[in-house]
Amino acid sequence: MPVLGLGVFQSPPEETTAAAETAIVNGYRLFDTAASYDNEREVGAAIRASGIDRAEIFVTTKLWISDYGYDEALVGFEACLRRLGLDYADFFLLHQPVPTDLDRTVAVYTAMEKVLAAGRARAIGVSNFSEQHLEQLMRRTEVVPAANQVELHPFFTQQPLRAFHARHGIATEGWSPLGGIHRYRPADPDAVLNALEHPTITAIADKYGARRRRRGCCAGTSSTRTGSPRTSTSSASS
């Protein structure tokens, strides 16, 4: 899995293909989408138009809770591949836990284990799971999630969860590592919302002569596995 990739959460479908194409030109090889983002088709179109060997591109997509359940998950997975226009997914995730219905969560993950065994997904994992959610899932399934994709950035470092991951061999993947939910749903509108403008980040960037965007990403990935900054603009992915 590449260390950094392009996430397309909240990226309008009409802007996603161009953003992904520009990202590919600028060296991105990991693309993170989801059934609920409504832009899997556009990500797939950009990959096909690039002419780059499929084996060089790493595609993550996620199953939404409306498809949780064993049979529902198998149908939902095929729908993801059909929208992407791909034969397999590199990484297939449960988008979020459903704590009120653990049986359905276990059933969908069991279906994902079948998809993994068949080679239709190269790896499986979860997103937005806490330590408790992971413990409950792992007690009733066979394959340890390859990664847990969670909010992770300089304002929210998730150290206890990352320690749990390390103990169990689960990679930590950060979504929106440039500030996450803090940027677009702030608890304190008067706070510095953009991690790239925070005095600590700017001071470190100036000290080492690094671009702020790069330094912000490094703050989220230096002791984890990977991160997916999100954008829908071609300039932000260059």
pLDDT of the residue at 178:
73
pLDDT of the residue at 160:
96
Cα separation of the two ends of the chain: 20
Closest residue by Cα to residue 219 from 167, 142, 159 = 159
Q: Which residue intervals of the chain are DSSP H helices?
A: 13-25, 40-50, 70-84, 102-117, 131-139, 159-168, 181-184, 199-208, 212-221
| pLDDT tens readout for residues 81-126 | 999 999 999 999 999 999 999 999 999 999 999 999 999 999 999 9
pLDDT of the residue at 200:
82
Question: Which residues have C-beta within 8 Å of that of residue 191, sequence separation ≥ 6?
Answer: 182
Q: What is the mean pLDDT of residues 26-46?
A: 96
Angle at which helices 131-139 and 159-168 pack, to 10 degrees? 20
Q: Hey, what are 99's tokens?
A: 């704590």
Q: Which domains does the chain have, with CATH numbers?
A: 6-237 (3.20.20.100)
10 confidence band (pLDDT: 50, 70, 90): confident
Please check the confidence at residue 220 and state whether its pLDDT lies above 70. no
| pLDDT tens readout for residues 171-204 | 999 887 776 665 656 566 666 667 777 788 888 8
Q: What is the mean pLDDT of residues 5-24?
A: 92
130 confidence band (pLDDT: 50, 70, 90): very high
Q: In this structure, are residues 216 and 201 in contact, taking their beta carbons and an 8 Å threshold?
A: yes
Give a three-class secondary structure readout of 88-153: CECEEEECCCCCCCHHHHHHHHHHHHHHHHCCCECCEEEECCCHHHHHHHHHCCCCCCCEEEEECE
Distance CA 92, CA 138 (A): 17
pTM (2 d.p.) = 0.83
Q: In what order do the strands lie in the sheet with 226-228?
A: 6-7, 30-32, 58-63, 91-94, 124-127, 147-151, 171-175, 226-228
Please check the confidence at residue 235 and state whether its pLDDT lies above 50. no
Please check the confidence at residue 230 and state whether its pLDDT lies above 60. no
Please check the confidence at residue 216 and state whether its pLDDT lies above 50. no
Q: Which of 37, 88, 109, 184 is catalytic?
A: 37
79 confidence band (pLDDT: 50, 70, 90): very high
Told to judge if 37 belongs to the known catalytic residues of this protein, a careful annotator would answer yes
Element (H, E) at 6: strand 6-7
Q: Reduce the DSSP state of residue 198 to 3 states and report it.
A: coil
| pLDDT tens readout for residues 131-164 | 999 999 999 999 999 999 998 888 788 999 999 9
| pLDDT tens readout for residues 46-78 | 999 999 999 999 999 999 999 999 999 999 999
